[in-house]
């Protein structure tokens, strides 16, 4: 048996409200496939809603990556997408350092395709495009 918790963070309270509701139009789930859609979503008037047993695994938090993160060495995996493209190089470097520090040793940081960075000096090594691993 294993324990899983998902912490979903965004600076936008509007984006968090949308995510908490968990309702998506059918076209948003095309890449998910029928089997996973049937397993994790239920049909509703507006499309598909994430099932409650999945929602219970997620904690939604308002999160500004420009502020210190409240976690150190906590996560096996961190996904950070469509954020750092808006930061200048110095802010990006600070953010990568903070995200790296939030990972457990050998944890993974996964970024968007256009957000690849040279964060090797932040204790990360490139595993494949967009996937970095924290070095012990």
- Domains in the chain, please, with CATH? 12-59 (no CATH), 64-134 (3.40.50.150)
pLDDT at 116: 67
> Is the pLDDT assigned to residue 44 strictly greater than 70?
yes
Give 22's contacts (C-beta < 8 A, 6+ positions apart).
Answer: 49, 50, 54, 55
**Global confidence as pTM:** 0.84
What does the pLDDT read at residue 20? 96
Burial 12-29 (b: 16+ CB within 10 A, else e): eeeebeebeebbbeeeeb
In which order are the strands placed within the sheet that holds 103-111? 75-80, 103-111, 131-134, 124-128
């Amino acid at each position: 048996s294993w324990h899983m918790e998902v912490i979903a963070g965004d600076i936008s309270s509007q984006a968090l409200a949308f995510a908490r509701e968990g309702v998506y139009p059918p076209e948003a789930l095309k890449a998910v496939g029928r089997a996973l859609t049937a397993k994790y979503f239920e049909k509703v008037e507006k499309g598909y809603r994430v099932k409650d047993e999945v929602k219970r695994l997620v904690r939604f938090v308002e999160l500004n990556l420009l502020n210190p993160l409240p976690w150190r060495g906590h996560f096996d995996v961190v996904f950070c997408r469509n954020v750092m493209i808006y930061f200048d190089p110095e802010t990006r470097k600070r953010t990568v350092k903070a995200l790296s520090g939030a990972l457990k040793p050998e944890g993974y940081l996964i970024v968007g395709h256009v957000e690849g960075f040279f964060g090797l000096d932040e204790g990360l090594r490139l595993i494949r495009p967009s996937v970095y691993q924290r070095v012990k």
